[in-house]
Amino acid sequence: MPSFYEATVSRPFSYPPLSGRRSANVCIIGGGLAGLSTALGLAERGVADVVVLEAQQVGFGASGRNGGFVFGGYSLDCADLLKALGPTLARELYALTTGAVDLMRTRIARYRIDCDATDAGVILANWFDEPARLETQRRLMRDSFDVEWQPLSRAQLTSQLKTPRYHGGLFERNAFHFHPLKYVLGVAHAAAGQRVILHEHSPVVRLQRDGAGFQVHTPQGTLDAQHVVMAGGGYARNVYPRVERAVLPIATYVMATEPLGTRLNEAIDTRAAVYDTRFAFDYYRPLPDTRILWGGRISIRERSPDVIARLLRQDLLKVYPQLSDVRIDYAWGGLMSYARHKMPQIGRSTEGVWYAVGFGGHGMAPTTVSGELLAAAIAGERAVPDAFARFGLTPAYGALGLAAAQITYTTMQTRDAFAARRRPAGPVV
């Protein structure tokens, strides 16, 4: 079963595999949003002779499978970012992501990318009957990051989300949601229009240093490049171990219902996207054709579409039992790259390889940030901010790290379940 995204795009442009031997200024390994944002950023800066190598098709990985949320922040909680960096650096790094949200809006308009963009904000819905959770978050964002999130009372939220499951929320206006695969394909087309060369079905089988540059080998060709950018995400294997060992390939799941027509408003009467305050949160949004796209759960295992549909249907009905007879038309999973410290890894290794990985969990804006930062650094405009070096290529310990991640996720699920039971739901106010 294809994903909803793959089933609803046309791929009018295909990019031939690399063949023979040629040279390039910059070789970007990975045709997802990180690699393509870097390529487009370089092209916009006038850097010529940029080549992107994609093992499958453009947007094959997490960039074309995710929930489609575009908003500020990183997977690392803002409170933890503040503790790690202090107020000045934390605010600077957060501001990069809100700037990326604006840049993505600009690129959608500039390159006329038809990606079902819905500029309606994002709601953080409180799963717990503990108003202090929301107030603490609202004050943190206002005082430390200069961002105003609008509080929503339980009654206000229930008027939009027809469920007693939530206890108020926060509305982040500077956010939108979209069809991520259409956007990624649009970025690829925009880059190709500025003479970036893209090659699909060109997996890198060997990367080696060659004097001041590199040789990048694929099954049918070799590229001699002055700069190499590693942007393979959760699907990169046996290309550049130093980067690959620093991320965990974690699976997540998404589904899309049948079109609901007027029934959509019986459950979701808002155009905003939604996620909740649990560690293991649901995230969902109404689609332009009245489907609900619903995502959640993380796992170290990829599962079949039937299993994913069953698991996520259970999650949907916990929130919206009135949709018990709704058909699930699409269900899919995919691998995201996570770092142990939950921050993206953006920089340059001691061997001279640029890298941009580790965007799982909150990816579209930070991934766009990585492209801009690497493009600016390679073009000689400015260095990657030193603060990212604090979240470097920390070893993830392979299978042991995956097992630890699953244990952490299960533990946090259990903690959330106990917290939700501690206080009974009060009246709607």
- Give the pLDDT confidence of 357-398 residue by residue, as tens digits: 999 877 799 999 999 999 999 999 999 999 999 998 876 656
In order along the chain (429 residues), what is the average pLDDT of each group of 10 residues?
Answer: 92 93 97 97 98 97 94 95 96 97 98 98 96 95 97 97 97 97 98 98 96 96 98 87 87 95 97 92 96 88 89 97 97 88 94 93 91 98 95 71 57 67 48
Per-domain residue ranges for the chain?
1-114+176-247+340-396
Instruction: Identify the pLDDT of residue 236.
Output: 82
Under a CB-based contact definition with an 8 Å cutoff, are residues 231 and 39 in contact? no
Structure tokens at 107: 């690129």
Instruction: Identify the pLDDT of residue 195.
Output: 97
Instruction: Identify the pLDDT of residue 426.
Output: 43
DSSP letters, 44-67, are HTT---EEEE-SSSTT-SGGGTS-
Under a CB-based contact definition with an 8 Å cutoff, are residues 101 and 273 in contact? no
Amino acid at 44: E
What pLDDT digit, counting tens, does each position of 191-233 carry?
A: 999 999 999 999 999 999 999 999 999 999 999 999 999 998 8
Helix (H) or strand (E) holding 275: strand 273-276
Instruction: Identify the pLDDT of residue 416.
Output: 64
Under a CB-based contact definition with an 8 Å cutoff, are residues 273 and 175 in contact? yes
DSSP letters, 225-248, are EEEEEE--GGG--SS-HHHHTT-E
Sign (positive/negative) of CA torsion 271, 276, 277, 281?
negative
DSSP 3-state of 335: strand
Instruction: Identify the pLDDT of residue 197.
Output: 98
Cα separation of 370 and 347, whole Å? 9
Instruction: Identify the pLDDT of residue 429.
Output: 35
- Beta-bridge partner residues of 253: 296, 333
- pTM, rounded to two decimals: 0.93
Cα separation of 54 and 234, whole Å? 13
- 1-114+176-247+340-396 CATH: 3.50.50.60
Instruction: Identify the pLDDT of residue 425.
Output: 45
Cα separation of 240 and 209, whole Å? 11
Q: Which of 402, 389, 330 is nearest to 360 (CA)?
A: 402
Under a CB-based contact definition with an 8 Å cutoff, are residues 385 and 260 in contact? no
